[in-house]
Structure formats: structure tokens, C-alpha cells
Amino acid sequence: MKKNILLGVCAGIASYKTCELVRLLVKDGFSVKVIMTESATKFVTPLVFQALSNNMVYLDMFAPVKEENIKHIELTEWADVCVVAPLTANTLSKIANGICDNLLTTVICAMPQSKKVIFAPAMNTNMWKNPIIEENADKLKKLRKYIFLNPSSGLLACGDYGEGRMPEPEEIYSRVKAVLK
Ligand SMILES: Cc1cc2nc3c(=O)[nH]c(=O)nc-3n(C[C@H](O)[C@H](O)[C@H](O)COP(=O)(O)O)c2cc1C
């Protein structure tokens, strides 16, 4: 049966790679619905994700409920698995501290215990190695419902070399499939 993937996109350069992740999932027959943070829309337009996923993109928790629009709790019920890629330092820290101030953080908080959430963080090495971010990441790693794909090392978008690259779309795609088996 066709499985449903809820995909959160935060405001990081690596969001261009998330477009390829959507393409891989849709090509393989998954249904994909994308939630973007407001800042994420400054990097890749919602139209790109709408076109790749063949679904409307969810942005605003307080948008008037239209026919094609569903509420945040319904999104958690619809999803078989949730993926957040890229996960920014900001959203990682909000989730780790139970902050629900936008649609994405609220949906993650409301995901039932039985459903997995895969996080693919991406950020500058100094952010990733910041003890506050490390502590917040450790909080999430301790919870069984969360699967953390550690960022890899290499050339970062900011020009530095170091840890902080988002895993490649193919790797995230393989993990999604493995979780749904
Ligand atoms: C060009 C540019 C690139 C950025 N890349 C990242 C990134 O890769 N990871 C990250 O955590 N923050 C990055 N940021 C900072 C986030 O966009 C910023 O913290 C934002 O508030 C995150 O919002 P969100 O978590 O609601 O999506 C970048 C900012 C700019 C201007």
C-alpha cells in the first residue's frame, strides 16, 4: 500500500537537496506532503515542492481551513513517517524544548509515539559543535521515536570544511524505506 511521508523543510541551504529527496520518494510511489517553515520559503519556493510532490505545501498553522486544507492533527494522522530535512539548529532546539510556535514544530510535537520521525540536521560546524545545540540534539537522540541522521563532513555551503553537511537525498530515502518496512 502507498505510504504517506510528511516532510518538514527548514531554512538551510541544504533545502535544495530536499527537492531531490521529494522526487525520489514520489518516483517510488510514496505520497509526500511538505510543511515549510516561514524562513524556509526564502531558500526554495513552496511552488517547487508543490510541483514535485503534487500536493499543496503547508505553511501556516492559522490559515483558514479550506476543503483541500487539513488541520495539524490530521497531518500527524495522515503520516506514516515524518522526515525533517534539513533540520536547522533553530528548529532542532525548539523541538528539543517542546516549543510549538509554527506548523512544523507543532506537528512534530503532536506526532504519536508509535510513528517515527527522521531528522537530517544540516548546519555550519560551529553551530553543530555548539554545546547548546549538542545538548539539544542529545535530548532528541535519547527518544526512541526519533531517528537522527548525523551530518557528514565535507565542504559546507559557507565555504568551511567540517561536520554539518546534510546526508545525501539517497541516504535519507533509504532510511525512510527502512523505517517503513
Ligand atoms: C544563507 C543562509 C544559510 C543558512 N544555512 C543554515 C543552515 O544550513 N543550518 C542552520 O541551522 N541555519 C542556517 N541558517 C540560519 C537559519 O536560516 C535561521 O536560523 C532561521 O531562523 C531558521 O529558521 P527555521 O528553523 O524556522 O527554518 C542560514 C541562514 C542564511 C541566511
**Beta pairing, strands 161-165 & 152-155:** antiparallel
Catalytic residue flag (residue 158): yes
| Residue 181 alpha carbon to ligand 1 centre in Å | 33
| Residue 54 alpha carbon to ligand 1 centre in Å | 26
Residues 16, 43: Cα–Cα separation, whole Å: 8
Q: Find, among 163, 88, 10, 179, the residue nearest to 96 by Cα.
A: 88
Supply angle C-alpha 140, 115, 20, rounded to 5: 80
Ligand 1 atom closest to Cα of residue 166: 8
With contact defined as beta carbons under 8 Å apart, do 122 and 11 qualify? no
The separation between CA 116 and the C-alpha centre of its own chain, rounded to angstroms, equals 12
pLDDT of residue 70: 64
Q: Is the pLDDT of residue 80 over 60?
A: yes
Q: Is the pLDDT of residue 69 over 60?
A: no
Ligand 1 atom closest to Cα of residue 156: 8
Nearest CA, atom 6, ligand 1: 12
pLDDT of residue 11: 98
Task: Give 162's strand partners.
Answer: 154
CATH at residue 166:
3.40.50.1950
Q: Find, among 60, 67, 38, 36, the residue nearest to 50 by Cα.
A: 36
pLDDT of residue 65: 64
Report the predicted TM-score, pTM, of the whole model to 2 decimal places: 0.95
Ligand 1 atom closest to Cα of residue 94: 25
Q: Is the CB of 136 under 6 A from ligand 1?
A: no
Structural domains counted in the chain: 1
Q: For residue 62, which amino acid is it? A: F
**CA distances (Å), origin 121, targets 39, 50, 73, 110:** 16, 22, 24, 20
DSSP secondary structure, 15-45, as one string: HHHHHHHHHHHHHTT-EEEEEE-TGGGGTS-
**Burial of 7 per CB tally in 10 Å (0-12, 13-18, 19+):** buried
Q: Tell me the percentage of the chain whose pLDDT exceeds 90.
A: 82
Which domain covers residue 152, as residue numbers? 4-180
What is the per-residue pLDDT across 102-153, written as a single tens digit (0 to 9) for each? 999 999 999 999 999 999 999 999 999 999 999 999 999 999 999 999 998 8
- With the most atoms of ligand 1 within 8 angstroms of its CB, the residue from 38, 39, 42 to mutate is 39
